[in-house]
């Protein structure tokens, strides 16, 4: 069934959720009116699955994304930079937690999602499988990676699933701070010595392509996108978002005095947008297939952290048990 044939998107798969015609019609109505679906509303299985996949991948990306920057907390060049970087990495942990909570409202528990992440079954953004050898990489990640995340995520504030859209509102506010702090790191380096300017440029050269690939493959090769757009989860195509991102970056690069590593970038008067060159998708697919610089290390470290945290979960469970017992005892006394 193709959407181009005018089929209502929700009608594709009611699946085990069952749902009578009235429920399906109600869902379709909400979609057509660009309304919101809440956790207690009926929804088709395929819609629920698509959301769990997207929200959990997003949550995993926030959590794994703490590692490349966490790497520099102990080596930040000043106390001020260290405090800012720590706050930023903590924000990312918070984003992961809001998003796991949003995914849980769809009926998938957190242990299952953690398990999928540490056994390598779940995906997360490939961008976090690159190493961060220089301090300038903290600038590039903020400016380019958080910058791409904002372009991707601002439209998600209007996602049709309520808990996801609401989580994104707060996340986007924090991502704007992240992008500015990255820009500011690069600006300070570009105003510094020749060696600092070179470090900034070299870092941007490495991160630019992978950041553009964060929007996903070209529209022609992106099978899930059309359905997500019909369900008002995604609002713009991968290529549209990539274009917006480049249009935002070019003037900022000029302020920085940094050259974006794509000689094909040129203003297109007719489109009122910048043209850009082709990306090396072979590398993207290599990283996606688990053969990036840091794929194995990222998962291994997450697994260690998860196992190392078992005592905290055990303590929390014991505390909850004690509280429940105390409440029961108090109730028994009243009775
Ligand atoms: Fe984030
Ligand atoms: Fe961020």
Question: Is residue 3's pLDDT more than 70?
Answer: no
Q: Residue 311's pLDDT band (boundaries 50, 70, 90)?
A: very high
Ligand showing the shortest atom-to-Cα distance for residue 125:
1
Predicted confidence band of residue 14 (pLDDT cuts 50, 70, 90): low
**Token pair in block for residue 326:** 């105390």
- At what angle are helices 295-308 and 310-334 packed, to 10 degrees? 40
2 pLDDT above the threshold of 70: no
b/e per residue, 122-138, with b = 16+ CB within 10 A? bebbbbbbbebebbbbb
Residue 304 pLDDT: 96
Q: Is the model more confident about 216 or about 255?
A: 255
Residues 6+ away with beta carbon under 8 Å from 166: 102
At residue 17, the pLDDT reads: 61
Encoded tokens for 11: 């009608």
What span, in angstroms and rounded, lies between the C-alpha atoms of 335 and 331? 6
Q: Which pLDDT score, from 0 to 100, does residue 283 have?
A: 83
Query: What's residue 18's pLDDT?
Result: 64
| CA of residue 182 to ligand 2 center, whole Å | 10
At 11, the pLDDT band (50, 70, 90 cuts) reads: very low
- Between 257 and 12, residue with greater pLDDT: 257
Arithmetic mean of pLDDT, 98-107 = 96
> For position 327, what pLDDT does the model report?
94
* pLDDT over threshold 80, residue 5: no
Which is more confidently placed, 193 or 4? 193
Task: Using a CB cutoff of 5 Å, list residues around ligand 2, an ion.
Answer: 146, 175, 178
Compute the distance from residue 175 Cα to the ligand 1 centre, in Å: 6
Q: How far is the CA of 184 from the centre of ligand 2 (A)?
A: 15
Task: Tell me the average pLDDT of the chain.
Answer: 90
Q: Residue 321 — pLDDT band, cuts 50, 70, 90?
A: very high
How far, in Å, is the centroid of ligand 1 from the Cα of 150? 9
Cα(185) to ligand 1 centroid in Å equals: 18
Span 7-35, mean pLDDT?
71
- In this prediction, residue 106 carries a pLDDT of 96
Q: Could you give the percent of the chain with pLDDT greater than 70?
A: 94
CA of 92 to the centre of ligand 1 (A): 4
Compute, in angstroms, the gap from residue 256 CA to the centroid of ligand 1.
24
Can you say whether residue 290 is alpha, beta or left, with left for phi > 0 and alpha for psi between -120 and 50 degrees? left
Ligand nearest the Cα atom of residue 141: 2
Ligand 2 centre to CA of 329 (Å) is 46
Cβ(309)–Cβ(303) below 8 Å = no
User: Would residue 216 be called left, alpha or beta, if left means φ above 0 and alpha means ψ between -120 and 50 degrees?
Assistant: left
Give burial (CB, 10 Å; 0-12/13-18/19+) of 167: buried
Assess whether pLDDT exceeds 50 at residue 23: yes
Measured from the alpha carbon of residue 138, the closest ligand is: 2
Ligand 2: distance of its center to the CA of 142 in Å?
Answer: 7
What integer is the mean pLDDT of 180-184? 97
> Does the pLDDT of residue 215 top 60, yes or no?
yes
Over range 160-180, report the average pLDDT.
94
pLDDT at residue 298 is higher than 60:
yes
pLDDT band at 10 (very low <50, low <70, confident <90, very high): very low
Using the predicted structure, report yes or no on whether residue 12 has a pLDDT greater than 90: no
Confidence of residue 226 (pLDDT cuts 50, 70, 90): confident
- State in Å: Cα 266 to ligand 1 middle: 31
Q: Which residue has the higher pLDDT, 232 or 54?
A: 54
Q: For residue 175, report the distance from its CA to the centre of ligand 2, in Å.
A: 5
Question: Are the CB atoms for 218 and 212 separated by under 8 Å?
Answer: no
The closest ligand to the CA of 69 turns out to be 2
Q: How far is the CA of 154 from the centre of ligand 1 (A)?
A: 12
pTM: 0.87
Lowest mean pLDDT among 77-81, 180-184, 213-217: 213-217
Q: What percent of the chain has pLDDT over 90?
A: 73
Residue with tokens 């022609």: 220
CA of 65 to the centre of ligand 1 (A): 8
Q: Do 107 and 173 meet the contact criterion of CB atoms below 8 Å apart?
A: no
146: CA distance to ligand 1 center in Å?
7
pLDDT higher for 118 or 6? 118
| Contact (CB, 8 A) for 182 and 198 | no
**Ligand (nearest to CA of 148):** 2
């Amino acid at each position: 069934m193709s959407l181009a044939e005018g089929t209502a998107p929700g009608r594709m798969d009611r699946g085990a959720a069952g749902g009578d015609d009235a429920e399906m019609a109600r869902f379709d109505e909400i979609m057509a009116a660009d309304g919101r679906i809440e956790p207690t509303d009926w929804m088709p299985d395929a819609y629920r699955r698509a959301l769990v996949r997207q929200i959990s991948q997003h949550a995993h990306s926030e959590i794994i994304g703490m590692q490349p920057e966490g790497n520099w907390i102990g080596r930040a060049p000043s106390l001020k930079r260290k405090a800012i970087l720590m706050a930023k990495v903590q924000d990312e942990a918070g984003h992961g937690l809001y998003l796991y909570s949003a995914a849980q409202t769809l009926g998938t528990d957190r242990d299952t999602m953690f398990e999928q992440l540490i056994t390598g079954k779940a995906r997360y953004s490939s961008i976090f499988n690159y190493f961060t050898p220089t301090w300038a990489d903290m600038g590039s990640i903020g400016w380019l990676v958080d910058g791409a995340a904002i372009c991707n995520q601002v439209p998600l504030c209007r996602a049709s699933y309520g808990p996801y859209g609401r989580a994104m509102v707060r996340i986007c506010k924090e991502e704007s701070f992240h992008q500015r702090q990255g820009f500011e790191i690069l600006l300070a380096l570009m105003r510094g010595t020749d060696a600092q300017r070179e470090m900034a440029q070299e870092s941007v050269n490495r991160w630019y392509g992978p950041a553009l690939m964060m929007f996903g493959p070209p529209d022609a090769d992106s099978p899930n996108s059309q359905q997500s757009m019909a369900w008002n989860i995604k609002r713009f195509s991968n290529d549209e978002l990539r274009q917006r991102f480049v249009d935002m970056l070019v003037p900022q690069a000029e302020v920085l005095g940094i050259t974006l590593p794509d000689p094909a970038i040129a203003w297109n008067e007719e489109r009122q947008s910048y043209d850009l060159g082709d990306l090396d998708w072979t590398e993207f697919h290599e990283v996606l297939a688990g053969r990036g610089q840091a794929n194995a290390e990222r998962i291994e470290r997450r697994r260690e952290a998860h196992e190392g945290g078992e005592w905290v979960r055990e303590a929390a469970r014991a505390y909850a048990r004690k509280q429940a017992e105390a409440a029961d005892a108090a109730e028994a006394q009243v009775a």
